[in-house]
Amino acid sequence: MGAIAGAEQLLTDQLRLLGADHSDTLINRGNLAAWRGDSGDPAGAVAACEQLLADQLRILGPDHPDTLKVRANLAMSRGQVGDPAGAVAAFEQLLVDRGRILGPEHPSTALTRKHLAHWQRRVPPR
């Protein structure tokens, strides 16, 4: 059984035993979304991240580190699915929020700057 299949089975069990709003269930959903993108399914990753983000905003709020992480994964997946401008817009807003919440020198803020620069180079000139 591969990692994705194992995580999907775990998610089924988590939903049944812990419920959809449990922190472990949310974390596993985030892992699954990222692995979908890593395995060559960026469209599936975008869809999974969008659904997870809606739930995290409701449960954890916009400033929670896990919410910020899913926003980063969603931005990256948007770029990988062929929307570099969408990735840039998402990373620009995420950079503002991570800077405000975590501080400008936090490693996650620095990583956001790196990803933003990466996708800015991939936006076609007008």
Cα–Cα distance for residue pair 92/69, rounded to 1 Å? 14
- Look at residue 111 and tell me if it is in a domain: yes
Cα–Cα distance for residue pair 79/100, rounded to 1 Å? 24
For the question of whether the overall pTM of this predicted structure is more than 0.75, the answer is yes
Cα–Cα distance for residue pair 103/48, rounded to 1 Å? 28
- Burial (CB < 10 A; 0-12, 13-18, 19+), residue 76, is buried
pLDDT tens digits for 103-121? Answer: 999 999 999 999 999 999 9
Work out how many domains the chain is built from and give that number: 1
pLDDT tens digits for 34-74? Answer: 999 889 999 999 999 999 999 999 999 999 999 999 999 99
Question: Domain with 34 in it: what CATH number?
Answer: 1.25.40.10
- Look at residue 126 and tell me if it is in a domain: no
Cα–Cα distance for residue pair 7/35, rounded to 1 Å? 10
- Look at residue 85 and tell me if it is in a domain: yes
Q: Give the domain range for residue 17.
A: 3-120
- Look at residue 87 and tell me if it is in a domain: yes
